[in-house]
Amino acid sequence: MTDSGALVVRGRLVQPSAVVDDGVVVTSGGRVAFAGSLPDAVAAGHGPAVDRVPAAPEAYVLPGLVDLHNHGGGGVSFPDVASASDALAGVLEHRRHGTTTLLASLVTAQPEVLLERAGVLAELAVAGEIEGLHAEGPFLSYRRRGAHNPADLQEGSVDLVRDLVKAARGYLRTMTIAPEVPGVTGPGGVAEALIEAGVLPSLGHTDGSTEQAEALIEQVTAALAAAGGAVGPMTATHLFNGMRPLHHRKPGPIAACLAAAARGDMVVELIGDGVHLDPATVRAVFDMVGADQVLLVTDAMAAAGVADGRYELGPMSVVVHDGVARVVPDVSDPQATGVTPASDTSGEGPIAGGTAHLVDVVRCAVAGGVPLVDAVRSATAVPARVLGLMGEVGSLEPGSRADVLVTDADLHPIRVLRHGVDVARGDVEIAGA
């Protein structure tokens, strides 16, 4: 991708630890040439270009957002796409709202379906439209399965991991696994195979004990350190959701994840959209472990950015009402409702992903009391670090990719740049698609 030359963006620049009230970002050749205060921009020789751009005190300038858990949007479900062109519409839905780097997430399905979908989505990764893939399942807990089809859950299979890595053409970046599922932890297990393939394990959809979670965290942390630490640390897939609840006599996996995050061995995902978690919970986790150990994610599904209605999420039917997506319960399954902490007691099915864009999650976190710079860092620099992309995406610094999100004072998107080019409303062609 190329740009048409130098470009200047001006506003309240959100940097990793502070907001620069009159900040400037200068891009050239798809990269950031300068990011800092107006006086520093002038001192660095950018005065003539900067002087032509009026001050924008009501606008925020953020790095492009990075979402590591996203199943689709704009009416497109990544686990159900038949072509890369179809999938791109979902990517663009989020890109137009400021998510310039994205992992496309799969859900539990039959192995042949997972391999087929991974092959389709890998085309987007090869084309540079997404960063890679996230596989959520199929090595998950039946009891904490949430919106995953129980018939497709299975014990850990190293062969399936290797087949999936191959189908994804090396672009499988993360995989959610439950530590108590046979074949997941220990020598010769799935966790070991993932790390050997360069895939980051993510603990989630688990009914396991604290000790089982600790064992997986210890194994993965040691293996990542031995591998040189190019990516990581490991993550927890949407902490609290799809997990045994925290109880003072049976603390379960949540206690292990919070402790690991506090010591730097884990980064925990939070779906801070106001539906999956109370804003006070989001604020408390930031206070406990710090913004550098928190990933804000959407867990978005096809209904993100479009109307309520009925949708598919892999083999599961989902109904979206008032922006909340829930699995259509199977009345023949006595455990079809109330299977995750995300379910309520009204007889509805479990929550089936989110309908927000990542900028909405950032806005919700800030409204709930998380400092702006912390919320932005957890949606930009932290996910970039987890993927080993620091200095490339997730920050605005000289040499980084010129991915920029400009919002109004209420964090609603105004403008999005990717590679220094304004994100268009039209389609993007994929070579060979």
Answer yes or no: do 238 and 364 share one domain. yes
Do residues 220 and 191 lie in contact, with contact meaning Cβ atoms separated by under 8 Å? Answer: yes
Q: How many domains does the chain have?
A: 2
| Dihedral over alpha carbons 195, 198, 204, 205 (to 10 degrees) | -100
Beta strands in 204-315 (DSSP E): 234-236, 266-270, 294-296, 309-313
In a domain, 91, yes or no: yes
Answer yes or no: do 251 and 373 share one domain. yes
Answer yes or no: do 114 and 133 share one domain. yes
In a domain, 98, yes or no: yes
In a domain, 221, yes or no: yes
What are the beta bridge partners of residue 81? none
Q: Give the pLDDT score at 348.
A: 67
In a domain, 427, yes or no: no
Residue 34 phi/psi, 5° resolution?
-155, 145
Answer yes or no: do 25 and 155 share one domain. no
Q: Would you state the structure tokens that stand for residue 215, as one six-digit string?
A: 């064992």
Answer yes or no: do 104 and 225 share one domain. yes
Do residues 158 and 150 lie in contact, with contact meaning Cβ atoms separated by under 8 Å? Answer: no
CATH number of the domain bearing residue 316: 3.20.20.140
Residue whose pair of structure tokens reads 């800030």 in the numeric block: 366
Q: Give the pLDDT score at 5.
A: 62
Beta pairing class for 294-296 and 266-270: parallel
Give the CA distances from residue 214 to residues 142, 158, 185, 210, in Å, rounded to whole numbers and listed in that order. 20, 21, 11, 6
In a domain, 430, yes or no: no
Answer yes or no: do 350 and 209 share one domain. yes
Answer yes or no: do 47 and 13 share one domain. yes
Answer yes or no: do 308 and 329 share one domain. yes
**In what helix (H) or strand (E) does residue 255 lie, and over which residues does it extend?**
helix 252-262
In a domain, 428, yes or no: no
Answer yes or no: do 79 and 58 share one domain. no
Tell which residue, 325, 388, 431, has the closest CA to residue 88: 431
Containing domain of residue 229, as a range?
65-386
- Cα separation, 256 vs 246, in Å, equals 10
pTM: 0.92
The one-letter amino acid code at 258 reads L
Residue-wise pLDDT tens for the chain (433 aa)? 333 468 999 999 999 999 999 999 999 999 999 999 999 999 999 988 898 999 999 999 999 999 999 999 999 999 999 999 999 999 999 999 999 999 999 999 999 999 999 999 999 999 999 999 999 999 999 999 988 999 999 999 999 999 999 999 999 999 999 999 999 999 999 999 999 999 999 999 999 999 999 999 999 999 999 998 889 999 999 999 999 999 999 999 999 999 999 999 999 999 999 999 999 999 999 999 999 999 999 999 989 988 788 887 878 888 988 888 888 876 445 444 333 333 333 346 788 888 899 999 999 999 999 999 999 999 999 999 999 999 999 999 999 999 999 999 999 999 999 999 999 744 444 444 4
Beta pairing class for 172-177 and 234-236: unpaired
Do residues 127 and 84 lie in contact, with contact meaning Cβ atoms separated by under 8 Å? Answer: yes
Q: Can you give the length of the chain in residues?
A: 433
Q: Would you state the structure tokens that stand for residue 332, as one six-digit string?
A: 């023949």
Answer yes or no: do 338 and 371 share one domain. yes
In a domain, 413, yes or no: yes
Q: Which residues contact 67 (CB under 8 A, 6 or more apart)?
A: 94, 99, 101, 102, 103, 297, 298, 300, 358, 379, 383
In a domain, 239, yes or no: yes
pLDDT digits (tens, 9 = 90+) for 164-174: 999 999 999 99
3-class DSSP assignment, residue 161: helix
CATH number of the domain bearing residue 15: 2.30.40.10
Do residues 41 and 396 lie in contact, with contact meaning Cβ atoms separated by under 8 Å? Answer: no
- Cα separation, 382 vs 362, in Å, equals 13
Q: Would you state the structure tokens that stand for residue 50, as one six-digit string?
A: 């900067």
Answer yes or no: do 84 and 231 share one domain. yes
Answer yes or no: do 231 and 305 share one domain. yes
Q: Would you state the structure tokens that stand for residue 379, as one six-digit string?
A: 């949606």
